[in-house]
Amino acid sequence: MNIFRKFAALGSLAALGAAAAIGAPGEAQAQEKHKIFLSMSYIGNDWQAEAANMIKAMAAHSSMADKVDLQVQVAGPNAQRQIQQINAMVQAGADAIVVFPISPTALNSVVKNACDKGVLVFAYDAEITEPCAYNISIDQEEAGRVTAEWLVEQLNGEGDIVVVTGVPGTSVDTLRTQAAKEVFDQHPGINIVAEAVGMWSQAVARTEMSKILATRGWDDIDGLWMQVGCYTANAMQLEAGKTAEELLPCAGEGANGGRIQMLAAGTEVEGGDCPYCPMGAPRISYASPPYSGALALKKAVQALEGAEVEKRITLPLPVVTNETIKYCETGSWDEMAAGCNAFPPALVPNPGWFASIFSEETPEVGFQAALIGQPEM
Protein backbone atom coordinates (compact mmCIF):
# COMPACT_ATOMS: atom_id res chain seq x y z
CA MET A 1 0.00 0.00 0.00
CA ASN A 2 1.27 3.53 -0.81
CA ILE A 3 2.79 5.13 2.30
CA PHE A 4 0.51 8.17 2.10
CA ARG A 5 -2.57 5.96 1.94
CA LYS A 6 -1.13 3.91 4.83
CA PHE A 7 -1.12 6.99 7.06
CA ALA A 8 -4.69 7.78 6.09
CA ALA A 9 -5.73 4.23 6.81
CA LEU A 10 -4.00 4.27 10.20
CA GLY A 11 -5.83 7.48 11.10
CA SER A 12 -9.17 5.92 10.24
CA LEU A 13 -8.39 2.87 12.34
CA ALA A 14 -7.46 5.03 15.33
CA ALA A 15 -10.80 6.83 15.08
CA LEU A 16 -12.60 3.55 15.50
CA GLY A 17 -11.21 3.34 19.06
CA ALA A 18 -12.41 0.52 21.25
CA ALA A 19 -14.87 -0.69 18.63
CA ALA A 20 -11.99 -2.03 16.54
CA ALA A 21 -10.43 -3.68 19.56
CA ILE A 22 -13.43 -5.96 20.10
CA GLY A 23 -13.72 -7.02 16.44
CA ALA A 24 -12.85 -10.50 15.18
CA PRO A 25 -9.07 -11.18 15.48
CA GLY A 26 -8.79 -12.11 11.79
CA GLU A 27 -10.43 -8.86 10.74
CA ALA A 28 -8.20 -6.81 13.03
CA GLN A 29 -5.09 -8.35 11.51
CA ALA A 30 -6.22 -8.22 7.88
CA GLN A 31 -4.12 -5.99 5.65
CA GLU A 32 -4.65 -4.77 2.12
CA LYS A 33 -2.29 -6.29 -0.45
CA HIS A 34 0.50 -4.20 -1.95
CA LYS A 35 -0.58 -3.10 -5.42
CA ILE A 36 2.44 -3.77 -7.64
CA PHE A 37 2.57 -3.32 -11.41
CA LEU A 38 4.94 -5.03 -13.82
CA SER A 39 5.83 -2.76 -16.74
CA MET A 40 7.38 -4.71 -19.60
CA SER A 41 8.74 -3.18 -22.78
CA TYR A 42 9.90 -5.41 -25.65
CA ILE A 43 8.63 -8.99 -25.21
CA GLY A 44 9.47 -10.61 -28.54
CA ASN A 45 12.10 -12.99 -27.21
CA ASP A 46 12.53 -15.98 -24.89
CA TRP A 47 14.32 -14.04 -22.14
CA GLN A 48 11.48 -11.60 -21.54
CA ALA A 49 8.87 -14.37 -21.43
CA GLU A 50 10.97 -16.33 -18.95
CA ALA A 51 11.62 -13.30 -16.75
CA ALA A 52 7.88 -12.61 -16.67
CA ASN A 53 7.24 -16.23 -15.67
CA MET A 54 9.62 -15.88 -12.73
CA ILE A 55 8.09 -12.58 -11.59
CA LYS A 56 4.59 -14.08 -11.67
CA ALA A 57 5.85 -17.16 -9.83
CA MET A 58 7.42 -14.98 -7.13
CA ALA A 59 4.09 -13.17 -6.67
CA ALA A 60 2.30 -16.53 -6.41
CA HIS A 61 4.70 -18.03 -3.85
CA SER A 62 3.19 -18.79 -0.45
CA SER A 63 5.36 -16.09 1.14
CA MET A 64 4.00 -13.46 -1.26
CA ALA A 65 0.51 -14.47 -2.35
CA ASP A 66 -1.21 -12.78 0.60
CA LYS A 67 0.89 -9.64 0.24
CA VAL A 68 0.97 -8.87 -3.47
CA ASP A 69 -1.61 -7.87 -6.05
CA LEU A 70 0.46 -8.07 -9.26
CA GLN A 71 -0.82 -6.48 -12.46
CA VAL A 72 1.07 -6.71 -15.78
CA GLN A 73 1.22 -4.26 -18.67
CA VAL A 74 3.28 -4.39 -21.87
CA ALA A 75 4.41 -1.24 -23.66
CA GLY A 76 6.44 -2.80 -26.46
CA PRO A 77 9.62 -1.08 -27.74
CA ASN A 78 7.99 2.34 -27.35
CA ALA A 79 9.27 4.66 -24.63
CA GLN A 80 6.34 7.08 -24.92
CA ARG A 81 3.83 4.29 -24.42
CA GLN A 82 5.75 3.00 -21.40
CA ILE A 83 5.72 6.52 -19.95
CA GLN A 84 1.96 6.73 -20.43
CA GLN A 85 1.43 3.33 -18.82
CA ILE A 86 3.59 4.19 -15.80
CA ASN A 87 1.64 7.42 -15.32
CA ALA A 88 -1.57 5.39 -15.40
CA MET A 89 -0.14 2.91 -12.87
CA VAL A 90 0.60 5.75 -10.45
CA GLN A 91 -2.90 7.14 -10.92
CA ALA A 92 -4.33 3.67 -10.31
CA GLY A 93 -2.77 3.59 -6.85
CA ALA A 94 0.43 1.64 -7.41
CA ASP A 95 2.55 1.04 -4.32
CA ALA A 96 5.48 -0.16 -6.43
CA ILE A 97 6.34 -0.61 -10.10
CA VAL A 98 8.73 -3.30 -11.33
CA VAL A 99 9.94 -2.32 -14.78
CA PHE A 100 12.11 -3.42 -17.67
CA PRO A 101 12.82 0.06 -19.08
CA ILE A 102 13.12 0.51 -22.83
CA SER A 103 15.50 3.43 -22.22
CA PRO A 104 17.83 4.34 -19.36
CA THR A 105 16.91 8.04 -19.54
CA ALA A 106 13.57 8.49 -21.33
CA LEU A 107 11.59 7.35 -18.28
CA ASN A 108 13.40 9.59 -15.79
CA SER A 109 10.70 12.26 -15.57
CA VAL A 110 7.81 9.83 -15.10
CA VAL A 111 9.82 7.80 -12.61
CA LYS A 112 10.64 10.94 -10.60
CA ASN A 113 6.95 11.80 -10.59
CA ALA A 114 6.12 8.32 -9.31
CA CYS A 115 8.74 8.55 -6.57
CA ASP A 116 7.42 11.97 -5.52
CA LYS A 117 4.01 10.37 -5.00
CA GLY A 118 5.46 7.65 -2.78
CA VAL A 119 5.64 4.89 -5.41
CA LEU A 120 8.72 2.67 -5.37
CA VAL A 121 10.24 1.96 -8.81
CA PHE A 122 12.47 -1.10 -9.31
CA ALA A 123 14.18 -1.61 -12.69
CA TYR A 124 15.48 -5.08 -13.53
CA ASP A 125 18.19 -6.01 -16.05
CA ALA A 126 18.05 -2.68 -17.91
CA GLU A 127 18.81 0.55 -16.09
CA ILE A 128 16.98 3.74 -15.13
CA THR A 129 19.31 6.65 -14.37
CA GLU A 130 16.84 8.67 -12.27
CA PRO A 131 18.42 8.57 -8.76
CA CYS A 132 15.19 7.64 -6.95
CA ALA A 133 14.88 4.37 -8.92
CA TYR A 134 16.23 1.03 -7.71
CA ASN A 135 18.31 -0.94 -10.23
CA ILE A 136 18.98 -4.70 -10.20
CA SER A 137 21.21 -6.11 -12.95
CA ILE A 138 24.50 -7.67 -13.86
CA ASP A 139 27.42 -5.46 -14.83
CA GLN A 140 26.54 -5.16 -18.53
CA GLU A 141 29.92 -3.70 -19.43
CA GLU A 142 31.63 -6.66 -17.79
CA ALA A 143 29.44 -8.99 -19.86
CA GLY A 144 30.52 -7.32 -23.09
CA ARG A 145 34.19 -7.16 -22.10
CA VAL A 146 34.59 -10.72 -20.80
CA THR A 147 32.94 -12.31 -23.82
CA ALA A 148 34.89 -10.17 -26.29
CA GLU A 149 38.17 -11.02 -24.54
CA TRP A 150 37.33 -14.72 -24.77
CA LEU A 151 36.68 -14.46 -28.51
CA VAL A 152 39.92 -12.55 -29.10
CA GLU A 153 41.81 -15.23 -27.21
CA GLN A 154 40.15 -18.00 -29.22
CA LEU A 155 41.26 -16.29 -32.43
CA ASN A 156 44.76 -15.51 -31.18
CA GLY A 157 44.08 -11.83 -31.77
CA GLU A 158 43.36 -12.12 -35.50
CA GLY A 159 40.22 -12.77 -37.51
CA ASP A 160 37.10 -11.49 -39.21
CA ILE A 161 34.09 -11.50 -36.91
CA VAL A 162 30.35 -10.89 -37.06
CA VAL A 163 28.63 -8.88 -34.31
CA VAL A 164 24.92 -9.32 -33.56
CA THR A 165 23.56 -6.86 -31.00
CA GLY A 166 20.37 -6.68 -28.92
CA VAL A 167 17.42 -4.29 -28.54
CA PRO A 168 18.58 -0.78 -29.57
CA GLY A 169 18.26 2.00 -27.02
CA THR A 170 18.32 -0.19 -23.93
CA SER A 171 21.19 0.23 -21.49
CA VAL A 172 21.80 -3.52 -21.75
CA ASP A 173 22.55 -3.42 -25.46
CA THR A 174 24.42 -0.13 -25.38
CA LEU A 175 26.77 -1.04 -22.54
CA ARG A 176 27.51 -4.59 -23.74
CA THR A 177 28.19 -3.57 -27.32
CA GLN A 178 30.31 -0.57 -26.38
CA ALA A 179 32.46 -2.63 -24.00
CA ALA A 180 32.95 -5.42 -26.53
CA LYS A 181 33.96 -3.03 -29.30
CA GLU A 182 36.46 -1.36 -26.98
CA VAL A 183 38.12 -4.75 -26.57
CA PHE A 184 38.09 -5.44 -30.31
CA ASP A 185 39.56 -1.99 -30.99
CA GLN A 186 42.56 -2.91 -28.85
CA HIS A 187 43.40 -5.72 -31.26
CA PRO A 188 44.12 -4.45 -34.80
CA GLY A 189 43.96 -8.00 -36.13
CA ILE A 190 40.28 -8.30 -35.24
CA ASN A 191 37.96 -6.97 -37.96
CA ILE A 192 34.19 -6.60 -37.62
CA VAL A 193 33.11 -7.50 -41.16
CA ALA A 194 29.35 -7.46 -40.51
CA GLU A 195 27.02 -6.19 -37.79
CA ALA A 196 23.29 -6.68 -37.29
CA VAL A 197 20.56 -5.92 -34.75
CA GLY A 198 19.36 -9.21 -33.30
CA MET A 199 16.66 -8.01 -30.82
CA TRP A 200 17.75 -10.81 -28.40
CA SER A 201 15.81 -13.28 -30.52
CA GLN A 202 16.95 -16.58 -32.06
CA ALA A 203 14.50 -16.05 -34.94
CA VAL A 204 15.75 -12.54 -35.67
CA ALA A 205 19.35 -13.75 -35.41
CA ARG A 206 18.66 -16.35 -38.09
CA THR A 207 17.11 -13.76 -40.38
CA GLU A 208 20.01 -11.34 -39.93
CA MET A 209 22.68 -14.03 -40.34
CA SER A 210 20.95 -15.17 -43.54
CA LYS A 211 21.29 -11.63 -44.90
CA ILE A 212 24.98 -11.53 -43.97
CA LEU A 213 25.61 -14.93 -45.53
CA ALA A 214 24.10 -13.71 -48.80
CA THR A 215 27.28 -11.69 -49.34
CA ARG A 216 29.91 -13.84 -47.60
CA GLY A 217 30.21 -17.53 -46.72
CA TRP A 218 30.95 -19.23 -43.43
CA ASP A 219 34.54 -19.71 -44.64
CA ASP A 220 34.88 -15.91 -44.71
CA ILE A 221 34.03 -15.62 -40.99
CA ASP A 222 36.38 -16.59 -38.15
CA GLY A 223 34.27 -15.89 -35.08
CA LEU A 224 30.96 -14.61 -33.75
CA TRP A 225 29.97 -12.21 -30.97
CA MET A 226 26.20 -12.44 -30.52
CA GLN A 227 24.10 -11.15 -27.66
CA VAL A 228 21.64 -13.85 -28.70
CA GLY A 229 22.05 -16.32 -31.55
CA CYS A 230 24.98 -18.68 -30.97
CA TYR A 231 22.65 -21.69 -30.86
CA THR A 232 21.11 -20.64 -34.17
CA ALA A 233 24.49 -19.86 -35.75
CA ASN A 234 25.70 -23.36 -34.87
CA ALA A 235 22.56 -24.86 -36.36
CA MET A 236 23.01 -22.84 -39.55
CA GLN A 237 26.62 -23.99 -39.92
CA LEU A 238 25.54 -27.63 -39.60
CA GLU A 239 22.81 -27.00 -42.17
CA ALA A 240 25.51 -25.64 -44.49
CA GLY A 241 27.47 -28.88 -44.25
CA LYS A 242 29.96 -27.95 -41.53
CA THR A 243 30.94 -30.60 -39.01
CA ALA A 244 30.85 -30.06 -35.24
CA GLU A 245 34.64 -29.80 -35.29
CA GLU A 246 34.41 -26.92 -37.78
CA LEU A 247 32.00 -24.76 -35.78
CA LEU A 248 33.17 -21.19 -35.28
CA PRO A 249 33.87 -19.93 -31.74
CA CYS A 250 30.86 -17.97 -30.55
CA ALA A 251 30.60 -15.60 -27.60
CA GLY A 252 26.97 -15.30 -26.68
CA GLU A 253 23.85 -15.94 -24.71
CA GLY A 254 22.96 -18.45 -22.02
CA ALA A 255 20.27 -20.20 -24.06
CA ASN A 256 19.81 -23.83 -23.08
CA GLY A 257 20.18 -25.03 -26.66
CA GLY A 258 23.63 -23.47 -26.87
CA ARG A 259 24.56 -24.90 -23.46
CA ILE A 260 23.63 -28.42 -24.60
CA GLN A 261 25.67 -27.91 -27.78
CA MET A 262 28.65 -27.03 -25.58
CA LEU A 263 28.64 -30.42 -23.86
CA ALA A 264 31.24 -32.86 -25.14
CA ALA A 265 30.12 -34.86 -28.16
CA GLY A 266 28.64 -38.15 -27.05
CA THR A 267 27.38 -36.86 -23.69
CA GLU A 268 24.13 -38.61 -22.87
CA VAL A 269 21.22 -36.22 -22.49
CA GLU A 270 17.50 -36.88 -22.19
CA GLY A 271 15.75 -35.92 -25.41
CA GLY A 272 16.84 -33.47 -28.05
CA ASP A 273 17.79 -34.14 -31.67
CA CYS A 274 20.67 -32.32 -33.34
CA PRO A 275 21.31 -29.44 -33.57
CA TYR A 276 19.91 -29.47 -30.02
CA CYS A 277 22.47 -32.07 -28.95
CA PRO A 278 25.98 -32.21 -27.41
CA MET A 279 28.73 -31.47 -29.92
CA GLY A 280 31.51 -29.70 -28.04
CA ALA A 281 30.66 -26.37 -29.69
CA PRO A 282 33.33 -23.76 -28.79
CA ARG A 283 31.47 -21.23 -26.66
CA ILE A 284 31.42 -18.80 -23.84
CA SER A 285 27.88 -18.52 -22.57
CA TYR A 286 26.65 -15.73 -20.32
CA ALA A 287 23.30 -14.18 -19.48
CA SER A 288 21.43 -11.52 -17.67
CA PRO A 289 19.79 -13.98 -15.29
CA PRO A 290 16.01 -14.08 -15.81
CA TYR A 291 15.48 -14.18 -12.03
CA SER A 292 16.41 -10.47 -11.81
CA GLY A 293 12.77 -9.39 -12.17
CA ALA A 294 11.62 -11.81 -9.49
CA LEU A 295 14.32 -10.50 -7.18
CA ALA A 296 13.19 -6.94 -7.96
CA LEU A 297 9.65 -7.85 -6.90
CA LYS A 298 10.92 -9.45 -3.70
CA LYS A 299 13.04 -6.40 -2.87
CA ALA A 300 10.11 -4.08 -3.61
CA VAL A 301 7.95 -5.91 -1.08
CA GLN A 302 10.75 -5.79 1.48
CA ALA A 303 11.09 -2.03 0.96
CA LEU A 304 7.33 -1.52 1.26
CA GLU A 305 7.48 -3.37 4.56
CA GLY A 306 10.15 -1.06 5.89
CA ALA A 307 13.38 -2.94 5.14
CA GLU A 308 16.42 -1.03 3.93
CA VAL A 309 17.15 -2.00 0.31
CA GLU A 310 20.19 -0.92 -1.68
CA LYS A 311 19.46 1.36 -4.62
CA ARG A 312 21.96 -0.50 -6.85
CA ILE A 313 22.20 -4.30 -6.71
CA THR A 314 24.77 -5.82 -9.06
CA LEU A 315 24.17 -9.52 -9.68
CA PRO A 316 26.96 -12.04 -10.28
CA LEU A 317 27.71 -12.52 -13.97
CA PRO A 318 26.94 -16.16 -14.86
CA VAL A 319 29.65 -17.27 -17.27
CA VAL A 320 29.92 -20.82 -18.61
CA THR A 321 32.63 -22.20 -20.90
CA ASN A 322 33.29 -25.66 -22.34
CA GLU A 323 35.37 -26.33 -19.23
CA THR A 324 32.60 -25.41 -16.77
CA ILE A 325 29.46 -26.67 -18.52
CA LYS A 326 27.58 -29.09 -16.25
CA TYR A 327 24.50 -31.09 -17.18
CA CYS A 328 21.40 -31.07 -14.95
CA GLU A 329 19.53 -34.36 -14.67
CA THR A 330 16.25 -33.00 -13.29
CA GLY A 331 16.62 -29.27 -12.64
CA SER A 332 16.01 -29.64 -8.92
CA TRP A 333 17.00 -26.83 -6.57
CA ASP A 334 19.73 -28.99 -4.98
CA GLU A 335 21.16 -29.82 -8.40
CA MET A 336 21.32 -26.18 -9.41
CA ALA A 337 22.88 -25.24 -6.08
CA ALA A 338 25.58 -27.81 -6.85
CA GLY A 339 26.40 -25.95 -10.07
CA CYS A 340 24.54 -27.56 -12.98
CA ASN A 341 23.82 -25.11 -15.79
CA ALA A 342 22.32 -26.98 -18.79
CA PHE A 343 18.93 -28.69 -18.71
CA PRO A 344 17.60 -31.83 -20.47
CA PRO A 345 16.03 -31.09 -23.86
CA ALA A 346 13.26 -33.49 -22.88
CA LEU A 347 12.27 -31.03 -20.14
CA VAL A 348 13.11 -27.87 -22.11
CA PRO A 349 12.04 -28.40 -25.74
CA ASN A 350 12.68 -24.74 -26.59
CA PRO A 351 16.44 -24.33 -27.22
CA GLY A 352 16.11 -20.56 -26.84
CA TRP A 353 15.08 -20.87 -23.18
CA PHE A 354 17.64 -19.31 -20.84
CA ALA A 355 19.42 -21.57 -18.39
CA SER A 356 20.95 -19.10 -15.89
CA ILE A 357 18.02 -19.22 -13.47
CA PHE A 358 19.60 -20.07 -10.11
CA SER A 359 20.18 -17.62 -7.28
CA GLU A 360 20.53 -18.28 -3.57
CA GLU A 361 18.56 -15.07 -3.05
CA THR A 362 15.44 -16.39 -4.79
CA PRO A 363 14.62 -19.84 -3.35
CA GLU A 364 10.98 -19.06 -4.11
CA VAL A 365 11.54 -19.54 -7.85
CA GLY A 366 13.42 -22.32 -9.62
CA PHE A 367 13.22 -24.46 -12.73
CA GLN A 368 9.41 -24.75 -12.88
CA ALA A 369 9.05 -21.03 -12.26
CA ALA A 370 11.23 -20.20 -15.26
CA LEU A 371 9.57 -22.84 -17.40
CA ILE A 372 5.87 -22.40 -16.61
CA GLY A 373 5.55 -19.76 -13.86
CA GLN A 374 5.11 -22.22 -10.99
CA PRO A 375 6.84 -21.27 -7.71
CA GLU A 376 8.79 -23.60 -5.46
CA MET A 377 6.76 -25.20 -2.67
What is the rounded average pLDDT of the residues 111-130?
97
The confidence score (pLDDT) of residue 16 equals 30
Going from N- to C-terminal start, the domains of the chain cover: 3-138+292-316, 140-286
Q: In this structure, are residues 348 and 370 in contact, taking their beta carbons and an 8 Å threshold?
A: no
C-alpha 201 chain-centroid distance: 13
Contact present, 332 and 343 (Cβ < 8 Å): no
| Mean pLDDT over the full length of the chain | 92
Decide whether 3-138+292-316 matches 140-286 in CATH topology. Answer: yes
Beta strand residue intervals within 41-84, DSSP E: 68-74
Where does the pLDDT of residue 119 fall: very low under 50, low under 70, confident under 90, or very high at 90 and above?
A: very high
Q: Is 171 left (phi over 0), alpha (psi -120 to 50) or beta?
A: alpha
Our measurement of the distance from residue 147's CA atom to the centroid of its chain's CA atoms, rounded to an integer in Å, reads 17
pLDDT band at residue 31 under the 50/70/90 scheme: low
Residue 94 burial (10 A CB sphere; 0-12, 13-18, 19+): buried
Q: At what angle do helices 230-239 and 202-213 cross, to 10 degrees?
A: 50
CATH topology of domain 3-138+292-316: Rossmann fold (3.40.50)
Q: Is the dihedral of CA 93, 96, 97, 103 positive or negative?
A: positive
pLDDT at site 28: 33
Strand partners of residue 124: 136
Q: What is the pLDDT of residues 255-309, one digit of tens each?
A: 999 999 999 999 999 998 999 999 999 999 999 999 999 999 999 999 999 999 9
Specify the DSSP class assigned to residue 356.
-
Considering the domain 140-286, what is its CATH architecture? 3-Layer(aba) Sandwich (3.40)
Peptide bond into 275 cis (omega under 30): yes
Q: Per-residue pLDDT for 70 more than 60? A: yes
Does 312 score more than 60 pLDDT? yes
> Could you tell me how far CA 72 lies from the centroid of its own chain?
17
pLDDT digits (tens, 9 = 90+) for 195-239: 999 999 999 999 999 999 999 999 999 999 999 999 999 999 999
Band of residue 15 on the pLDDT scale cut at 50, 70, 90? very low
Answer yes or no: is pLDDT of 188 > 90.
yes
DSSP state of 234: H
> Other CB atoms closer than 10 Å to residue 1's CB: what's the count?
16
CA–CA distance, 198 with 34 (Å, rounded to integer)? 37
Reference 121, options 32, 43, 110; nearest CA is 110
- % the chain with pLDDT above 70: 92
* pLDDT-derived band at 6, boundaries 50, 70, 90: very low
Q: What is the pLDDT of residues 318-347, one digit of tens each?
A: 999 999 999 999 999 999 999 999 999 999
